[in-house]
Structure 1
């Protein structure tokens, strides 16, 4: 038993029962908190998290759906354009090299014309995923050009066939086909 003096001068006697009553409320609150957190932990631990094994084919299929296949990571390139790392510079290098080869081939044919020609022909060129260049189509050639140069279409096809080795374009390291619209200016006097 503990005795203490109150402010009004009365003596208070604290028995073990009154001390138990005072600390019992705090004890019950502590037990309630502990049991709440224990129950929460048990609920979290006992949850069944399902994991699904996905095959590499499914991952590839999902990723290929999300990729923009109209844009490439690397443009097709000739040996001389392989060092270009920027996409625009690589494309310009490739297109310039194709144009130079076409014009060089046309000059070798030494065409003779009776009237002056100043026209632009568009070649729709595809470079396959194996690196083979193919002409999809050639824009409508003006009758003046075809009258003066009846073999122009054959010469254009032969010039494309005579291109040096082309490394195909790639997307994520996978070779892909690409298409280009290339203007060819025909000037002769």
Structure 2
């Protein structure tokens, strides 16, 4: 009887392992699930410059960065002929792209119906004037530097 009891227990132990197996998700399934959780439209930390790094509040650090960038662009453009060539333009929108390698690119944004001025000339002036920027630390997403883009309204001829 003991022999049959041991065989029965052995049989139950072997077959019960098969029923308790849970289906394990593959790595790809887990990766896809995790990627769907990530909000790719938001970053964990905005781009910044060294002068703003000491600010602990994220909102104030972001504001410091945008104010610094806007002011620097305004200063660089106010010493050029842009305001003289196009006095009717008081504000220009500049699309700023900060790449993961800390390089930066500026592109003027024009209204769709703007034909009153030479877009190529304005673009050329912007590219010539907007050089030698201080190091900009790129935005961070999950610990990795990422590309970010934003549009800054830049006021021309602040002295008026």
Instruction: Answer yes or no: same fold by TM over 0.5.
Output: yes
* 8 Å contact kept, 2:74–2:155: no
* Distance in structure 2 (CA, Å) of the matches to 1:74 and 1:136: 23
* Distance in structure 1 (CA, Å) of the matches to 2:134 and 2:38: 31
Secondary structure of 2:140 counterpart: strand
Tell me the matched-pair count. Answer: 142
Deviation string for 1:110-164 (max 9, x for gaps)? Answer: 6673885452211111111222111344224673xx48xx954323223443211
1:131 aligns with 2:102: yes
CA RMSD of aligned residues (A): 3.3
CA 1:80–1:65: 2 relative to 1, 3 Å:
same
What is the TM-score with the length of structure 2 in the denominator? 0.69
Structure 2 gap ranges (5+): 1-11
* Distance in structure 2 (CA, Å) of the matches to 1:112 and 1:68: 41
What is the TM-score with the length of structure 1 in the denominator? 0.60
Alignment of 1:38-187 (within 5 A): 46=16, 47-50=19-22, 52=24, 54-55=26-27, 59-109=30-80, 113=84, 117=88, 119-140=90-111, 143=116, 146=117, 151-187=121-157
Secondary structure of 1:52 counterpart: coil
CA 1:71–1:105: 2 relative to 1, 3 Å:
same
Structure 1 gap ranges (5+): 1-41
Structure with greater contact order relative to length (CA < 8 Å, sep ≥ 6): 2
Q: Choose 1 or 2 for highest CA Rg.
A: 1
Secondary structure of 2:92 counterpart: strand
CA 1:159–1:88: 2 relative to 1, 3 Å:
farther
